[in-house]
């Protein structure tokens, strides 16, 4: 199906956010989505008051490109072992990599360890509430700083993860998928849609994210369960198929990522340094295996030792 020449809602631009996506549109979206969230939100440990800002931060690192069901057991083990940033900061970074297990993208473990060290040294062990201070922590980008400030401290910030971007792309802009990378126009749209009240804005951030995770999904969306289906620009346009740049896939089998994962698994399970021969057994292709190992060393995930030995990093 092709898109109509004139969608039922104008597409927002940098100079036209007031008519297409300003306070009036935001007001029509906020209440139904927030009410839906109140009835349908999942009971997740990082949403409970006892999680605190550190629990929220840990969850945000772990949930990047990783589904909730894989994160839950690792998150609970992590917080049981390191209930405060100082607890993690006192351990070797390699222990963070070991505890990360098979969540994937293990550089996140090193970045979270680095953030814990900085929080301990700069902020007395308490995750800062100030957005600029959060953004200044190592490993913390625009999204994570906004998410922690919003979800942990109830502040008013646009929180743009993949789920939120997809909800806004469909409901407001009338397209099936957002661009591959977050654009200035998306940020401006998200800011324009923020409720003025801080607590309502924080609730909106969580609610729109949950809507994208459970209802307005990338595939097999459940429009019949959507609280804003009646005003969704994409649905009203007949759900035109995506006609932008190809969406990036998440291939894994046979990639350097898979080889890196196998090499790290050997090191995580070892109680001491591992010899080259043990690493050689995990992958048959020597050039790719060597490239993957070199990449792990360059990323600080593996520490080479004399005599052809390797271990998880101690410093």
Q: Which residues are catalytic?
A: 60
Query: Which of 126, 131, 88 minimizes the C-alpha distance to 110?
Result: 88
- Extract the residue ranges of the chain whose pLDDT is less than 50: 1-19, 21
- The tens digit of pLDDT for each residue in 266-286 reads 999 998 999 999 999 999 999
What per-residue confidence (pLDDT) applies to 11? 40
CA separation (Å) from 33 to 68, 219, 225, 273, 276?
21, 20, 11, 52, 54
* Contact criterion met (CB below 8 Å) for 310 and 304: yes
What per-residue confidence (pLDDT) applies to 249? 64
Tokens 């994160």 sit on residue: 71
Q: How many Cα atoms sit within 13 Å of 252 on the Cβ side?
A: 6
What per-residue confidence (pLDDT) applies to 250? 65
Determine which helix (DSSP H) or strand (DSSP E) holds 304, and give its type and residue range. Answer: strand 303-305
Query: Which of 224, 228, 225 minimizes the C-alpha distance to 167?
Result: 228
């Amino acid at each position: 199906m092709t898109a109509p020449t004139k969608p039922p809602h104008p597409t927002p631009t940098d100079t036209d956010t007031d008519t297409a996506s300003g306070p009036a549109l935001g007001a029509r979206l906020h209440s139904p989505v927030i009410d839906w969230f109140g009835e349908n939100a999942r009971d997740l440990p990082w949403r409970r008051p006892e999680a605190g800002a550190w629990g929220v931060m840990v969850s945000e690192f772990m949930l990047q490109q990783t589904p909730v069901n894989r994160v839950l057991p690792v998150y609970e083990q992590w917080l049981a072992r390191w209930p405060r940033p100082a607890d993690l900061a006192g351990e070797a970074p390699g222990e963070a990599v070991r505890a990360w297990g098979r969540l994937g993208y293990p550089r996140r473990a090193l970045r979270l360890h680095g953030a814990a060290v900085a929080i301990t040294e700069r902020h007395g062990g308490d995750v800062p509430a100030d957005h600029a201070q959060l953004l200044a922590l190592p490993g913390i980008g625009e999204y994570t700083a906004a998410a922690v400030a919003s979800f942990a401290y109830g502040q008013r910030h646009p929180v743009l993860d993949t789920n939120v971007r997809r909800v806004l792309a469909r409901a407001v802009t009338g397209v099936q998928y957002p661009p591959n990378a977050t654009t200035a126009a998306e940020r401006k749209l998200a800011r324009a849609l923020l409720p003025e009240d801080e607590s309502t804005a924080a609730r909106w951030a969580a609610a729109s994210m949950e809507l994208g995770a459970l209802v307005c999904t990338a595939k097999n969306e459940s429009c019949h369960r959507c609280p804003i289906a009646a005003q969704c620009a994409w649905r009203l346009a007949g759900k035109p198929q995506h006609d932008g740049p190809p969406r990036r896939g998440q291939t894994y089998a046979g990639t350097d990522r898979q080889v890196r994962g196998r090499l790290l698994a050997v090191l995580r399970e070892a109680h001491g340094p591992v010899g080259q021969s043990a690493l050689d057994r995990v992958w048959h292709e020597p050039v790719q295996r060597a490239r993957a190992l070199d990449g792990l060393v360059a990323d600080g995930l593996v520490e080479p030792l004399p005599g052809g030995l390797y271990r998880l990093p101690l410093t």
